[in-house]
Structure 1
Amino acid sequence: MSTTRTNPFESITIPNGVTIIPFSSHSEVGYAPETEDGIERDRLGIKTIQLREHNTDYAKTNLHGEPFARPSVLGPSKKKKKSKRTGPTGIWYEDWEDNPHKVGNGGASYPSDLSDVDRVRRATSDFRRGDQWPVDPILGNTFDKFQKFIGTIGYSPAANEFAMDDDSDDGLGSDPQDAPEDSSSALWRFCHNPAKAIKIFFSSYMDQAGLIYDAKACINLPKLVHFYLDYLKRTYALRPRPLEDALRWLDDVEEQLSLQVQLAQAVQNGVGPDLEAMFEQYPDMMMLSEFNPVAPNEQESQSKGTGRAGDADDEEEEWKGIPQNEEEWKGIQRDAIRMETDSIPVASEAEPEAPSSGWGNSFQGTNAWSNVSDSASAASPWDTPTTEATWGSSTASGGWGDATDSELADTNAWSTPAPKTSFMRWVDCPTALPLTHTPGVVETSMREVIDIIPPTGKTAAKNPLATEPNADAVEADLESKLYRIVMRPWNDLVAPDVHRFSKGLVVSQNVAFPDKWEGARPHHIGHHDITILQDKETAKVWEKCKGMRVSATWTQMARNSDFEETTKKRKKSKRQERFWYLARSSATFVSYYTISEE
C-alpha cells in the first residue's frame, strides 16, 4: 500500500486575476468599525452574516475601543427589582416593562442588508404604531421633538452636528427618505453615536427648548426614549454596543433631571445667605459690579474713534452717579432708607394696605432695605421705639393715643422689616468670624461637586472667642460644626472671572502658578478647587448631586491678617487655603451636559 500523498490542489486551474495566498502568508482581517453605506462589513468589504445570539453570549473583545461597562457618574446603578405585578396597572411604562414583546412589531429583527439609517426609520415607524403607545398626547408631542432632533421624521433641527434650533417644527420639509446620508445628516450621526445624541438632547437642547422646566417631560420622556432605544437593540436596527452605552447614559438622565430641581433649590438656601448678610456682601452690590462700566475717558476715546457723537460732560456726570466702591454703595442704601423713613405716612382711620413692592420685598430671603450697617439700623425709626408722640410709638402719650402691645403689633405688621437671618443658628453659639475674616476673592464661575466632607466634631485647641480671636481657632470651630463641599472648576462653557470688588492675590487662568509667594496662597482661577461651608440638611442634597455643576458667584472668606502690613514677623499658619461660601447662584447643570460642536 502506497503511503505517498498527492496535493489535491495541483490539478485545480486558477482563474485569471485570482491569486491564491499561502496559509503562511495569510493575515486575519477584522470588523470594519465604519462603512460608507452603513452596512456591516469586514475590512475586505465583504458583508458579515448575523448569527443567532444565545443568552450566554457576551463581548470577548473591546472592538470599538470603549469600556465594557461605563460606570455611572452618580455611582453604580441599582438593580431593578423583579416586578410582582399580575395585571395591567394603567401606568404605561409599567405595562411596557411587563410586556416588552407588545411594543412595536413584537421584536422581529430587520434585514441586515439595509443600511443603519433605513433600519432605524423602519423601526421608528413600527415603534410609533405599537398597540400600547402612551395615550397622553403631550408626551407624544415631546417625543416628536426628540425624533426631529435625531432626524427620524422630517428634516431635523439638528441637521448639522445636532444643532439646537427648534423653530422649524411646522412639519414642512423634504421627505426623510430623500435626506442625504452623509456627515451632515443628524440621523446618520445618531446611528453612529447615539450616546452623544442622548447627552446633547437631555442637557443643552432641553435647556434651550424650555423642556427642562416641564416636570412631566423630565420624568416621562427619558423612560419613553429608554424603551425606544431598547426596541432598536432588540430588533437589531442598530449594533448593540453603541445602544448599550446610550442606555447607560439614560440611567444618569433619569436620575439627574429630578436632582437638578432639588439642587437649584438647595443652592439658594443654607449657610450662604447668612454669611452674605454677615459680611454685608449684598446681592444688589454684586449685580452692579457685573456691569463693569467704562471710565469716562475711555468712553470719550471710543466715541471719537468710532465716529459717534457724544457729550463728554454728560458722560462724566453719568459716571459720577455710579458708585465706585463698596462704601459708596452702602452709602446709597443708607440714603435710600433715610429718604423713605423721613416721609412717614400720616395715620388714617382706615387700616393701611400692605404694599405690593418696596420696603417689605425681600431678595433671596433677605430684606433688601434691612441689609445695612448697625449705625444705619440704629437711625431707622422702623426698628427703634422713640419718645415722641407718633402714631406707632409704644412709649409716647398723647397724639393718637397710647398704643397697646396688640394694637402696636397689628398697626406695624405691614411696615416691620423681615428679621435678619443669623449665622449663629448654624453653629449654635456666637462666633468671632466677623472679627477675624473678611470677604476676599469674589469669583464668578462654573464648578463641579466632587466631594462632601462631614464635620470633624473636634473642639478647637484655642477658644475662638478669646480676648484676641484666633483665625485658626475660628476655622477649626467651623470645621467641627459645618459640612464642607469641595468644588472643582468646570470651564467648558464659560471662562471664570473675578469681580472688581474682589480683594486678594489672584493668578490668571492662562498664567502659570508661582512656586513661591508671600502671605496667603494666591487663588488660581480656573484651576484651584474651593471648599464651601454648608449645613447638614442642605449638604444631604449636595451629596446626591456629586458630579453635577453649579454656576454661581463664590466669595472667599479671607483672614484679616492676609491684608495687614506689619514689620513684625508673624507666625506662619499651617492652613494656606481659605473657606468660601456660595454668594449667589445663576444656574445648575447635569454632569453629562454636552453642547453641539458648532
Structure 2
Amino acid sequence: MPKDKGSDDGNRPVDKVSSIPRKKPKKNKYVKLEPDPDKTVTLEPAGEKHWWEIWQESQSIRSLFFDQEDQYAEMLPAQKVSEATAVFSRNRTWPSAYSQVRNRWDQFQVFAGLLENAVGDEYLRLNKFADDPCSAIQIYLSSYFIEKGLNFSPYACDIIPKLLFFYANYLLVNCILPDKEDNLHRALSIIETAKMELALFPTIGRTQPDHFNQTCKEVFNDPPTTTSMQISTVDAIDAPAQDESPDRTQVEVVAEEGTSTALSGKKRRRKGKQKSKKTEEIDFQAGSRSPILDPAVPAGDAVPDPMGGEKENQTTTTDSSWGDIEPSGWTTSPMADVNFFSGWGGASGSGWGSSALSPLAQASTTDKGWGDFPICPLSSSFVPAHITNSLPQSYVRGVVEHSVRRIKAIFSPVDAKMAKKIKHETDEVLDLVALEQELTRSYWTAVLEPWPRIESGSLITTNVPCILSSSKGRVDLQVVDQINIEEGSENDREVGKVKPHNCLTDEITIFLQDEPKECLKDGMGLGGTWVQLLRTTDCVRGGDGTGTECETRFWYAQDVLKIWPSYFVV
C-alpha cells in the first residue's frame, strides 16, 4: 500500500511540491517611521514646508522695490525704509496667527518706528533706524530682547533671528539704503550670531551652575538657618510635657476586651455637613475597663494632678495639638504605650512626625516629620566622594563678587582618560596638590574676563561689579570709586602671596562639567555671584613660603542670574 508523501517511512526526502504561480504581495501604502531617539519628531502634513523655507525659495525671484528711479531718488532714507517695509509685509505669505510670526514682526516694527505707538515717538525711532540699522537690530536682539522677557521663550529665540535675517537681507538686496550696505552686512553678521547664541539660552539656564559648582556652594556656604517650623518641632520633642489648658477636651483612653475602637456612624455622616465645628466628639464602645499603667509609676501610687491635688495612676491623657509629646489625636489606639496606630505614620498619637513616649519607640524612630525630607538630592551626590571630602580640607571662601563676566576661553581637561583610570576610595581625602591635579584632569576650565572693558571712560550702569558682605579676602581698593562694596565685607584679609583682586581687570577661572561646555560659547556673558577659593595655607600667618607674589586662585559660580549674548549692548 503506498505511503503518503508526508509519512516518515525511511530516510528518503519528501518530494518537492510543484510551485504554483502566486501574485506578488502589494507594497504597503504607509511607511513606518522610526525616529531617531535624539531628535524630536513633529507631525506635519506631507509636503508642507516651514515658513522660512518658503521665503527662502521665493527670495531670489522678487522684483526690485521701485521701477521708477526718479521717485526712488527723491525719497528721504526714513521714507524709503517705511515704504520698503510696507512692501515687505504685503509681498509674502505669512504663516497662521497661531505661529506668532506676524505678531513678533509687528513688535519689531513698533520698536523701529515703522508702526505707530502710544508714546508717539515713531518718527524719531524711524530716523535712528534709517541712520544706523545695525545698532537698532543689535539692541533689539540683546538688551531689548532680555528686557521684554523674550529670552525665556525658546520659540521666540528661534523665529525672531530668522525673521530679521529676511528683512535685513531684503533691504540690502533691493538697495533701499545704498550708503548703508556695510552697516547692513554687519547687521546680518549679528543676526547669524544671534541664531546660535539665543538658541543656547534655555540650555544654559538649566545647566548653570552645574553640579560641581553647586557642590562648592553646599560645602563652603554658611549653614542654612533653621526655620521656625523646624525649631518648634525640635523644641516640642525635647521639651517636657506642658500642662493642658482647662478648656481643652479630655479624652479617656481605655483598653477594650473583644471590641474595637470606631467612630459612630452618625458622626461620620455629619462630618461633611458640620464644617464649622472646631471639635468633634469621639465615641468609644465601652467594654470592661482596665487601667493602663505607666511603667515608671507603680500601680496605686499617687501622681500629681494638673488641676491640683493628687490622684491615683490611671489611663487619662490629654488631647494635644500637633507636635506635642503626649499620645493623642486621630485614631488614638488603646495601646497607648506602644503607639502602633496613633497619628499619621508617626510613632506617637500627637500628629505628624513627633516622637513617642516609649523608649523602644524612640530608639526605633528617627524620622522628624515630613519637613525633614529634602526636596531634591544634593548636588554633592553627583560629584565623586573623594573630591567632595577634600574640598573643605584644602580651600576656604575668599572674595565674593557679583558681576557679569565674558567667557574668554574654555579649555578641555588635561588628561580625562587618566582620571577615569585612577580609582579612589569613597572616604579618601586628597591633599591640596593631588586635589588640584584631580580637578584639572577631570573637569573643563573656563576663563572669564570682566565685562565690559573700560574703553569710553564709563561703565554700563547695569553691570557695576559689587563686593558682597560675605566676602573675606583681599580686594584692590584703588578702583573702589568704580565698584560697589557692601558693608560687612572684609577686603584686607591676610592671604599670603595671593594677588589682590581687581574686579575691573582680573580674570577668573572656574571648573565646568562635560555637559555645560557644549552650550557655552566664547564671548557670551554670564552674570551672577563668583566666589574665590583660597587655599588653607594662604590664610596661615606667614604663608607656606613658596610661590610668587602675584598668584591667582580658582573660583566657582555660586549662582548664575543673567545670560548675555556676545553682541550685547544697551
TM-score bin, normalised by smaller chain: 0.5 to 0.7
Cα distance, 1:153 vs. partner? 2.4
Per the TM alignment, residue 419 of structure 1 is displaced from its structure 2 partner at its CA by 6.7
3-state secondary structure, aligned to 2:199: helix
1:282-297 aligned within 5 A: none
Question: Do the aligned residues in 2 keep the contact of 1:200 with 1:594 (CA within 8 Å)?
Answer: yes
Give the structure 1 partner of residue 446 of structure 2. Answer: 485
Which residue in 2 is equivalent to 1:587? Answer: 562
Partner of 1:147: 109
Which whole-Å CA distance do the structure 2 matches of 1:272 and 1:224 have between them? Answer: 37
Deviates more, 1:495-504 or 1:414-423: 414-423
**Change over 3 Å in CA distance of 1:583–1:134 after alignment to 2:** same
Return the offset for 1:475.
Answer: 1.7
Q: CA deviation at 1:562?
A: 1.5
Q: SS at 1:501's partner residue? A: coil
List aligned pairs for 1:297-336, cutoff 5 A.
332-333=225-226
Question: What SS class does the counterpart of residue 145 from structure 1 fall into?
Answer: helix
Counterpart of 1:477, as a letter, is E
- 1:83-482 to 2 correspondences below 5 Å: 89-101=48-60, 111-136=72-97, 138-154=100-116, 168=118, 173=120, 179=123, 185-239=124-178, 240-281=181-222, 332-333=225-226, 337-343=230-236, 392=346, 415-418=372-375, 421=378, 423=380, 425-427=382-384, 429-430=386-387, 431-457=389-415, 470-482=431-443
Q: 1:228 to 1:563 in 2, by over 3 A?
A: same
TM-score after normalising by structure 2: 0.59
Deviation at 1:393, TM superposition (A): 5.8
Q: 1:414 to 1:349 in 2, by over 3 A?
A: farther
Q: Flag the 1:435–1:141 CA change in 2: closer, same or farther, 3 A.
A: same
- The secondary structure found in structure 2 opposite 1:333 is coil
Give the Å deviation of 1:142: 2.0
User: For 1:500, what is the secondary structure of its paired residue?
Assistant: coil
Cα distance, 1:235 vs. partner?
A: 1.6
**Cα shift at 1:529:** 0.6
Number of corresponding residues: 389
Quote the residue 1:50 is aligned against.
none
C-alpha contact (below 8 Å) 1:464/1:470 kept by paired residues: no
Deviation at 1:495, TM superposition (A): 1.3
Cα offsets for 1:242-279 (capped at 9, x unmatched): 21211111101122111122212221432111111112
Aligned 8 A contact 1:427 1:482 in 2: no
Cα deviations across residues 53-72 of structure 1 (Å, max 9, x unaligned)?
Answer: xxxxxxxxxxxxxxxxxxxx
Separation (CA, whole Å) in 2 of partners of 1:186 and 1:223: 22
Determine which structure has more spread, i.e. the larger CA radius of gyration: 2
Q: d(CA) in 2 for partners of 1:432 and 1:522? A: 26
Number of the residue aligned with 2:544: 570
What residue in structure 2 maps to residue 34 of structure 1?
A: none
Aligned partner letter, 1:147: Q
Deviations, residues 386-419 of structure 1 (Å, cap 9, x unaligned): xx9776469x99969979x9xx999967743357
**Aligned CA distance change for structure 1 residues 424 and 480 (closer, same or farther; 3 Å):** farther
Tell me if the contact between 2:390 and 2:429 (Cα under 8 Å) persists in the aligned partners: no
Cα distance in 2 for partners of 1:124, 1:452 equals 42
Tell me, yes or no, if the aligned pair for 1:89 and 1:95 is still in contact at 8 Å. Answer: no
Change (3 A) 1:401 1:530: same
Q: Aligned letter for 2:190?
A: W
Q: How far 1:342 sits from its partner (Å)? A: 3.1
1:445-473 CA-to-partner distances (Å, cap 9, x unmatched) read 11011111222226799x99999964233
Report the residue type matching 1:578 in the other structure.
R
**C-alpha deviation, 1:131, in angstroms:** 4.1
Corresponding residue SS for 2:530: strand
The gaps in structure 1 that reach 5 residues or longer are 1-86, 156-167, 180-184, 283-329, 351-380, 382-387
User: Does the 8 A contact of 2:204 with 2:516 survive in 1?
Assistant: no
Identity %: 24
Q: Deviations over 1:218-259 (max 9, x none)?
A: 222221221112111222111232212111111011221111
Equivalent-residue separation in structure 2 for 1:453 and 1:427 (angstroms) = 21
d(CA) in 1 for partners of 2:227 and 2:390?
A: 26
Matches within 5 A, 1:69-88: none
Residue identity matched to 2:516: T
Name the amino acid aligned to 1:572: T
The one-letter amino acid paired with 1:186 is R
